Structure 1
Amino acid sequence: MGATLEQIASYLQQNDLKYEVDAENQRIITGFQTENVEDFLIVISLGEGGQYLQMLTPQLLTNINDAHAPVLFKALLNLSLQTNMVRWSYDPMGREICATVELPLLDSILTEKQFGFCLEALVRIVDEIAMPRLKNILETGIDPAEEEIGERLLLNLEETYPGSITYIEQALLRRKSLAESPNQQPATENHSSSSNVWQKIWNVVASVNK
């Protein structure tokens, strides 16, 4: 059971994909022309006597800026939560980001449909979903997905509680004023009504994050 290099090569041929066979290391190398990855190489490897299949995209991103690394790794964890199958990894020696799809075959046979689904998922998730976001982080240090969440949060707040954005702006101005004037005492007027407003805002925040 499991899979063989010949079987995988036949699946690639049926889809008119070019490839190279590395029989010594039990792997096949193929590639794609995509919009967001310049050299989209995929290394398809067999292990455990053909009972374990791995598709690896090496060196998707290299020379990671240490200053942007926390935001980048947080985004990779978020991508793992949002998408299926694709696993992300970081090699600290080569300072590179890779993506993989792994499929244990054991006592089953690798079908063309299974193979095509895994390959298509890897290419689509990496090129269409992940790379635009990750490239923006490396260039700016900002995760565009987090900016979208912030904009959606503000929109929901304004739609649910008109005028709530004004309270937020006023609170931020007060905090700035207090920070600049340590001896200034915080205002206590309308404490009850302000607390109610903040409770409503918190409710909206919680609903957006669900």
Structure 2
Amino acid sequence: VSRSRLLQLALPLVKEYGFTRETLARSALEWPQQPHTQPLSESAVSTLFGEGDAARRTLIGAWLEEGQIQMRAQPVSNVKDALNNRLRYNEPVLPLLPEAFALLASPKYGLPPFDVRPALRHATSIADEACHLANDASTGTSWYARRATLAAIYTAAGKHFSKLHQLTSPRSAPDFLESLLTTANETELFSRYIMKSWAGIIKSSGVF
């Protein structure tokens, strides 16, 4: 049984079962060549994906990586299109993302405080990918400023997207994203959104 294949089979199950060990266990039921009649045992999940919450982190990592792959697979003409595509990828699991990032931010060895660096790396990787797909030609300090701005915009739009999803629907998220792209100020956006937004998202999960 291929670990990477099981991870791929687990991703469509996240919407129903969350970023959980159960999702990983149920991936065996989706194996096309030789479907299992029972989910993977707890020991099998631990052996393949890690003990305890390490398995959940593995699943979250696979989901984030698949998002990058899907971004690259869709032709875009500008950064806005790339970011919108990534936000749409998030949509099916929006209610699950605060807890997922809270888990990534939680200390692995019982030492507080929570670590927002995984969320920052996620936002900056999305920004970098969007620039690459849109053939952004910025260099030097403008290269860093451009990506910092887009990381902040993606974070802010994602937070707005999640709130709208909880209330009604995420239809206005593209408009909100476009307004941020139009009025972006590198310093203000970075200080206002990157740290505060991810800290707020993580804390709202109730884990901390």
TM-score by length of 2: 0.24
- Structure whose alpha-carbon radius of gyration is higher: 1
More strand per residue: 1
TM-score by length of 1: 0.24
More helix per residue: 2
